[in-house]
Amino acid sequence: MFRRILPLTAILLLALFYVAPIARCMDSRQAEKNREEFEKRSEIPEWPKRDWKNAYKVNSLHYTVVTNTTYNAGKFISDVMEMLFLRYKDIFGAQFARIPRMTVNAYSSRQEYDEIANKYGFQSGVTGGFYTTHGNGAIHIPYVNINGQHPVKTLFHEGTHQFVHDVIDYKVPFQLKSIVPAELHVLPSVPIWLNEGLATYMETADYDGETIEIGKVNPGRLYQLQLMIKRKVMPPLREVLSRRFGQPFSAEHYAVAWGLVYSMRHNWDVDKREQARKKLSQYIDSASKGFFKLPANDFVKKFMTGGKLNDAFMIDWVAHIGDSSLSEFERIVVGRGKKLEDWEAEWKKQILKLSPYKPYGGTNRGEAVENKGSDGF
C-alpha cells in the first residue's frame, strides 16, 4: 500500500525504519489469521450429504486426498500430511529416490468407512482407519471423532505406514523386475516392531497450521510399558525384535516398539542423542535394502533357483526379515561384542525415568520444525 503513495526515495529511507516492522507485524497478523483458518478447517461438524462418486479431490505436492466431507476438510488433511512429510526426512535420515503420490480416502461417516473396511476383511467398528498396499495403496479413514478423539491421530499413524511402504520398503532391483511378479516389486522389509514403533511415535505429533512438532511421549504406551517393566512381565526385546509379519503383535508389543523408537530418537543422554538418531537411520537404511549387503545379488542367492523364485518365497522372506531385524539391531544399535540383554536392562532403567504426565517425558522438548534440535532439561 505504501509503495503506491510514496515516492521511491522516501520508500528507501523509510524502509530502514518502518517497512521491516510493518512487515513483521503484518506477518504475525497474517500468521494468526492462517492459524485461525487452519483451526476452523480442522473442525469436525456434521457433513452435508454427498455421494462418494462426487467426492472432492485435493491435490498437494505428495498427497491426493479424496473425501465426501467438505473441500476444506480435504485441504486440512493434505496440509497436515504435508507437514508430517517434512519430518520424515529427518527421522528416516535417507535421501528418497522416488516418492510416489500417496492417497488418503476420508469418509464422511462411520457406515461408509465400515463398508470399505469390510471389503478388506475388517470387522465393523473394530478399526479406526487402515492403510492397504492393495492396488496403488491408500489410507482409508472415517473422518469423524472417535471417543472424542480427532481422526488426525489415526492419519499420522497410518500415514507413517504408507510412507514406510511406499518410500522405505525393499524395492526389487530393476535387473530382477522382469522375473519377479509385479505385486512383489515392493516387499515389506521394515520389521513389524519398527513399523509400529514409528507409527506410534508419530501419533503424538502436534501441529498448528504452520509448524509440526514431534517427540512428545505417547502417554498410554509409556504407562503400559512402565507397568510391564515394574511387574517384570514385559515381552523380552529378543522376542519383539524378531517378531514376523503375520504373527500377532499385541498391545504389549506396541508399547515396547514405541519405547524403542522413542529412546532412539530422544536418548536421555543429550550427548548421545545424535549418535542414537544416526543408528536409527542406519538401521532403517539397512532395512530398505532388505538387510542385504548387495541387494540384487543376495536376493538371487537366497530366494531364487534357476532364474525363478523359490516356491516358499513369501514364507522365507518373512523369516529373513524377522531374523535380520534382530541381528541388525544387535550389530548397529547394541554394538559388536555387547549383549542385547545388558542393553535391555539399561534401556528399562531409562524408560522408568520418563514421565507419562509430562509432554516430553521430562527429558527433552521434542523439536521444532525449523530444525533447532532438542533442548535437554
Size of the site for Zn ion (CB under 5 A): 2
3-state secondary structure of 343: helix
Q: 244: exposed, middle or buried (C-beta count within 10 Å: 0-12, 13-18, 19+)? A: middle
**CA 179 to centroid of chain Cα atoms:** 32
**Of 122-130, 164-172, 193-201, 263-271, which segment contacts Zn ion by CB under 5 A?**
193-201
Q: Which is nearer to Zn ion, 55 or 260 (CB)?
A: 260
Question: Contact at 8 Å (CB) between 106 and 74?
Answer: yes
Rounded distance between C-alpha atoms, residue 98 and residue 327, angstroms: 28
Q: Which is nearer to Zn ion, 196 or 330 (CB)?
A: 196
Q: Which is nearer to Zn ion, 197 or 322 (CB)?
A: 197
When asked if residue 199 is in the footprint of Zn ion (CB under 5 A), the reply is yes
**Of 162-170, 197-205, 207-215, 302-310, which segment contacts Zn ion by CB under 5 A?**
197-205
CA nearest neighbour of 151 among 136, 132, 130, 137: 130
Q: Which is nearer to Zn ion, 201 or 303 (CB)?
A: 201
Rounded distance between C-alpha atoms, residue 45 and residue 48, angstroms: 9
x/- string (CB under 5 A) for Zn ion, residues 267-286?
Answer: --------------------
Residues 6+ apart with CB under 8 A from 79: 38, 41, 60, 209
3-state secondary structure of 304: strand
Q: Which is nearer to Zn ion, 199 or 334 (CB)?
A: 199
**CA 208 to centroid of chain Cα atoms:** 18
Q: Can you give the C-alpha Rg of the chain in angstroms?
A: 23
Q: Which is nearer to Zn ion, 75 or 243 (CB)?
A: 243
**Of 35-43, 116-124, 199-207, 277-285, which segment contacts Zn ion by CB under 5 A?**
199-207
| CB 235, min distance to Zn ion, A | 17
| CB 196, min distance to Zn ion, A | 5
Closest residue to Zn ion, judged by C-beta, is 199
Q: Which is nearer to Zn ion, 127 or 281 (CB)?
A: 127
When asked if residue 167 is in the footprint of Zn ion (CB under 5 A), the reply is no
**Of 6-14, 196-204, 306-314, 366-374, which segment contacts Zn ion by CB under 5 A?**
196-204
Max CA pair span of the chain: 81
| CB 112, min distance to Zn ion, A | 22
- Quote the cell numbers at residue 220: 498410554
Summarize as ranges the residues that interact with Zn ion (CB under 5 A).
196, 199
